Amino acid sequence: MSVAVTDSVSGVSIADATLGVAQSGSHTDSLTFTSPPPLRSGGSTLGAFTVTLDHTGYAQWRRDNVMVTQQGTCGNVIPVQVSARMQPQP
């Protein structure tokens, strides 16, 4: 999956300083930073995932039941695109 992480107020990407995981059952993948474009990406299996993101100064972001369901002709997982607009904490 590919997660575009932005500040919900300014819309600026904060992916580079955000930590994240995608969990499906007992399987957990760390989301790594990739650029360009600035994203957090990971997950190499099919299934329903819970995605959790943490960034200092922001409320934790979580989305349940992110479905990764498609494979390419070679058996590779086709990443689902997720947008995460993180809320700054006062």
CATH number at residue 78: 2.60.40.1120
Per-residue DSSP letters for 11-26?
--B-GGG-EEEEEETT
Domain count of the chain?
Answer: 1
- Domain with 33 in it: 2-86
pLDDT at 6: 97
pLDDT digit string, tens, across residues 37-88: 899 998 788 999 999 999 999 999 999 999 999 999 998 999 899 999 999 9
Count the neighbouring beta carbons within 10 Å of the beta carbon of residue 68: 19
Beta bridge pairs of residue 86: 7
Tally of residues, the chain: 90
CA-atom Rg of the chain in angstroms? 13
